[in-house]
Amino acid sequence: MYIDVYGDTLCALVSAAGLAATGHNVSLHVPQGPAATTLARGGCPYREPGLPEMLAEQTTAGRFKLARVDVPPDEKSTMIWLALSPTDMDQAFQIIKGLPVDGERSWLLVNQSTFPVGSTEALQQALKDLPGGESTQRVAASLPDLLIEGAAVSGFIHAEQWILGCDSDWGKRMVAEALRPFNRRRDNIMIMGPREAEFTKLAVTGMLATRLSFMNDMANLADMLDVDIERVRQGMGKDKRIGESYLYPGCGFGGLSFSQDVMSLASTLQHSGIQAQLLDQVLRINERQKESLFRKLWRYYGTDLRGRKVAIWGVAFKPESARIDNAPALKLIEALWAQDVEVHVHDPRALPALAEWAGPRDDLVLHKDQYAALVDADALMLVTEWSAYMSPDLPHMKGSMKQPLILDGRNIWDPTFMKQNGFDYFGIGRR
């Protein structure tokens, strides 16, 4: 097939590269911006495992090429694949208006963009409103983006499931054919209506966010009751009705798509006349949780933080990402700055994004070496659970720090072991 993919999101690049890797001829139409510049230079705007190599390989093979958004689809193409930012819905309609409608040309629009519920139906109507829409196939289908950053390539190639929202038999067959190479071992495509598919995406994200916030509430309560939340978490996870996924307490969740999806679901509920009490609480709990490490530090030093030096390991919103969208570290850093604290940061990938967010400041020092950030520090805050932090050199850490205080926002270290090595250790609901 000839497929034209539109967007500069991670989903757009992974979808385009993945489809090209199975023999499809793919044109990626990229809006003007930093991502387009990086791609034009032969680079990859996302540090996603396997993605740069796949893009380079498919470019060399001639199955992947770049194009501007205003360039028409390939003359052999009948499939438009939208993977735009949630804020770019107007651009989706502009893309439809620019589609060639010569002769009896049919169009299938696959919408992976996380737009409001009902958007795919509106896009289908826009397709039918084009000249010749009554005599040709003009179908829009919803195929929600379920990719997980850090495992997006493998998640696309070896998807556990595809949720397809489509009311047209022709549209279902076309999407199934495009995904056939990824769907050979068993049929992973679950078919439903477009609105149901769009709502499923938001509902899944809302449920995951609710589990995270519930566990954070339980961890805070465990602190008060002198209970180890890790034992509680393991006990809950063994119950088959609950399971282990997304039961890890921490210092809050971030991420542009994850946070926006939760807010979009809450907004959808409110606009429908239903008060989104649960999701409002989920969002409030999460924002409050982002300052949990600060509150522990505040209490430890008796509310006197002025002039202190704090090291932070990890500012990306999740491991294996260079992005800091809504990352818990940002709110934490702002709270520290408000108390005249000098902040020293290490992160394997996200330092450029943090430097751009913060601008030049005397109270923010970025380090390429994780141990250099600890020199004369009054505390270390672990915010992102990068693998490089899992088994650190404890004697080196203790010898570098002014005060061996560890605030573990992801519970990656064992409290007893850290205390035996001479650290004052505080996790999230740990003892």
Answer yes or no: is 149 a known binding residue: yes
**Contact of 149 with 320, CB cutoff 8 Å:** yes
Question: In terms of residues, how long is the chain?
Answer: 431
286-296: b or e for each residue (b if 16 or more CB lie within 10 Å)?
bebbbbbbbeb
The DSSP output letter for 115 is P
On whether the CB atoms of residues 370 and 355 are closer than 8 A, the answer is no
Burial of 416 (0-12, 13-18, 19+ CB in 10 A): exposed
Residue 127 DSSP code: H
Q: Is 248 annotated as a binding residue?
A: yes
- Helix, strand, or coil here: 25? strand
Dist CA 162 CA 110 (whole Å): 13
On whether 366 is known to bind a ligand per the annotation, the reply is: no
Indicate the SS3 state at residue 108.
strand
Cβ count near 375 (within 10 Å): 15
Contacts (Cβ under 8 Å, ≥6 apart) of 405: 297, 300, 378, 379, 380, 423, 424, 426
Sign of CA dihedral 236, 242, 245, 250: negative
Tell me whether residue 246 is annotated as binding. Answer: yes
Q: Is 254 annotated as a binding residue?
A: yes
Closest by Cα among 163, 148, 158 to 185: 158
Q: Are 246 and 212 in contact (CB under 8 A)?
A: yes
Q: Is 318 annotated as a binding residue?
A: yes
DSSP count for the chain of H helices, then E strands = 16, 14
249 is in an annotated binding site: yes
Cα 388 from Cα 410, distance rounded (Å): 14
Nearest to 407 by CA among 390, 428, 431: 428
Q: Which of 293, 410, 389 is nearest to 341 (CA)?
A: 293
Distance in angstroms (rounded) separating the CA atoms of residues 416 and 427? 11
Is 300 known as a binding-site position? no
Of 15, 8, 14, 12, which is closest to residue 31 (Cα–Cα)?
A: 8
Which amino acids are annotated as binding site for substrate, given as ranges?
201, 246-250, 254, 318
Which amino acids are annotated as binding site for NAD(+), given as ranges?
114, 149
Which amino acids are annotated as binding site, given as ranges?
114, 149, 201, 246-250, 254, 318
